């Protein structure tokens, strides 16, 4: 590539693909140019390097590319990229901001909004250089402004780990925000200090996290005092909905536990993944059939039986078979299931049978 006096001049050539398509180059050569330019821009994004001739020189001198037969194609493509960028006047020096943003989803009025303070202008530059979404830019700028207001007279560029922890604690204790919102603020501030000001930040696993405690009061028949429990959560919905959500979650966990204990559906010992998938589906089918039997057939007195009890007392039981000329008798012990209860269950199963249509 051509040697220039300043190889670190930043290039902002957003429409290079459109310009390349308008060039009078053979189609095959255009595809090679597009391939190598995309690889170079991805290299800059992954390594957080500035798009300039110096980073292109580093890209060309990689060990896997120096001795490759495609090295001349790479050099030719990047030469075209920087030459056209110079013709398009998209090379910037120092800390100048580009006139447009590389992200196509930013509304036109926002392109001219480059911030009011130095730290905000640098933040916008870094965000748009990294090709982040417009909503991400809005969120990061909003959290950075709130952080600057929290710092007061302290400059943003002089903030550190302790200031971020104090701000996160303030959000949790004073403003009572949710835990997910607190993590969003942490991501924005880490991006501001690490990406914009190149600061080495520590671990933020010990900051005060937003938590909410909901009291669950239950009155049971025959008890003088209520039972009080507490739910620690970060959900912002009303207290009744929080209790209902965790009750349903606990019920679902009980169903999963019942399937594990009664059907052993976690025993997937096949070597092939597809076989284990079919086996798990058969376990789920057996669970649904057992639950259907419990809800539709069992008498009300024993409808609360779990699948484990249903299996041990009704299905996996021993019996003595006595054969006569006209009948077969199953002699079973009445310890687990009495005779009348067993008769009601059989009658319930009989009612599930489809009626046989009469002929003629």
Q: Where are the domains of the chain?
A: 10-92, 108-196, 212-263, 304-351
Place of tokens 């009626």: 355
Q: Which two tokens stand for residue 46?
A: 């992954």
Q: What is the pLDDT of residues 206-234, one digit of tens each?
A: 677 767 788 888 888 888 999 999 888 77
pLDDT digits (tens, 9 = 90+) for 229-271: 988 877 777 888 888 888 888 888 888 888 888 888 888 888 8
- From the number of C-beta atoms within 10 Å of its C-beta (0-12, 13-18, 19+), residue 74 rates as buried
The mean predicted confidence, pLDDT, of the chain is 80
Name the E strands within the chain: 10-11, 91-92, 212-218, 227-233, 320-323, 328-331
pLDDT above 50 for 97: no
Tokens of 265: 């559906």
Choose among 183, 58, 196, 78: nearest CA to 128: 196
Q: Which residue has the higher pLDDT, 297 or 5?
A: 297
CA distances from 66 to 33, 39, 205 (A): 17, 15, 43
Q: For 108-196, CATH number?
A: 1.10.150.130
- Token pair recorded at residue 140: 């990061």
Worst-scoring range by mean pLDDT, 20-24, 83-87, 117-121, 332-336? 332-336
The arithmetic mean of pLDDT across residues 89-106, rounded, is 49
In the 8-state DSSP scheme, what is residue 322?
Answer: E
- Check residue 10 and give its pLDDT: 76
CA distance 256 to 253: 5
**What CA–CA distances, in Å, run from 203 to 19, 160, 162, 165, 177?**
45, 12, 11, 10, 21
Per-residue model confidence (pLDDT) at position 137: 87
357: which DSSP letter? Answer: P
Name 218's Cβ contacts closer than 8 Å, sequence gap at least 6: 226, 227, 228, 229
Closest of 320, 315, 359 to residue 337, by C-alpha? 315
Query: Helix, strand or coil for residue 69?
Result: coil
| pLDDT of 58 strictly over 70 | yes
Q: How far is C-alpha 166 from the chain's CA centre?
A: 27
5-57 per-position pLDDT tens digit:
467 777 777 777 777 877 888 878 888 888 888 888 888 887 878 888 888 88
pLDDT tens column, 100-159: 444 445 666 566 667 778 888 888 888 888 888 888 888 898 998 899 888 888 888 888
Q: Across the strands, what pairs with 233?
A: 212
- Rounded Cα–Cα distance for residues 288 and 282 (Å): 10
The yes-or-no verdict on residue 193 having pLDDT over 80 is yes
User: DSSP assignment, residue 221?
Assistant: T
Taking the whole predicted model, whether its pTM rises above 0.85 is answered as no
Do residues 226 and 217 touch, judged by C-beta distance below 8 A?
Answer: yes
The pLDDT assigned to 99 comes to: 47
């Amino acid at each position: 590539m051509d040697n220039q006096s300043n190889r670190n001049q930043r290039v902002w050539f957003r429409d290079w693909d459109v310009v390349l398509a308008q060039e009078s180059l053979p189609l095959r050569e255009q595809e090679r140019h597009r391939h190598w330019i995309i690889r170079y821009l991805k290299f800059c994004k992954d390594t957080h390097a500035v798009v300039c001739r110096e980073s292109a020189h580093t890209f060309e001198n990689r060990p896997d590319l120096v001795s490759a037969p495609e090295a001349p194609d790479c050099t030719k493509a990047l030469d075209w990229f920087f030459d056209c960028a110079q013709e398009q006047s998209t090379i910037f020096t120092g800390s100048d901001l580009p006139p447009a943003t590389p992200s196509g989803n930013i509304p036109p009025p926002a392109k001219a909004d480059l911030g009011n303070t130095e730290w905000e202008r640098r933040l916008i530059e870094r965000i748009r250089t990294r090709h982040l979404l417009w909503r991400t830019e809005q969120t990061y700028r909003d959290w950075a402004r709130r952080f600057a207001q929290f710092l007061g007279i302290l400059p943003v560029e002089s903030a550190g780990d302790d200031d971020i922890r104090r701000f996160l604690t303030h959000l949790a204790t004073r403003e009572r925000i949710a835990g997910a919102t607190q993590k969003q603020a942490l991501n924005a501030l880490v991006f501001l200090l690490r990406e914009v000001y190149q600061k080495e930040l520590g671990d933020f696993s010990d900051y005060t996290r937003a938590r909410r405690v909901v009291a669950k009061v239950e009155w049971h028949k025959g008890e003088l005092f209520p039972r009080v429990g507490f739910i620690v959560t970060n959900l912002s919905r009303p207290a009744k909905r929080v209790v209902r959500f965790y009750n349903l979650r606990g019920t679902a966990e009980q169903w999963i536990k019942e399937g594990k204990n009664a059907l052993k559906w976690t025993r997937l010992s096949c070597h092939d993944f597809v076989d284990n998938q079919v086996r798990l589906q058969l376990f789920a089918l057996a669970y649904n059939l057992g639950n259907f039997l419990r809800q539709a057939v069992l008498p009300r007195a024993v409808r609360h039986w779990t699948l484990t009890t249903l299996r041990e007392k009704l299905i996996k039981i021993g019996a003595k078979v006595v054969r006569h000329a006209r009948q077969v008798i199953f002699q079973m012990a009445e310890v687990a299931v009495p005779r009348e209860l067993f008769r009601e269950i059989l009658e319930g199963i009989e009612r599930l049978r489809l009626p046989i249509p009469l002929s003629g």
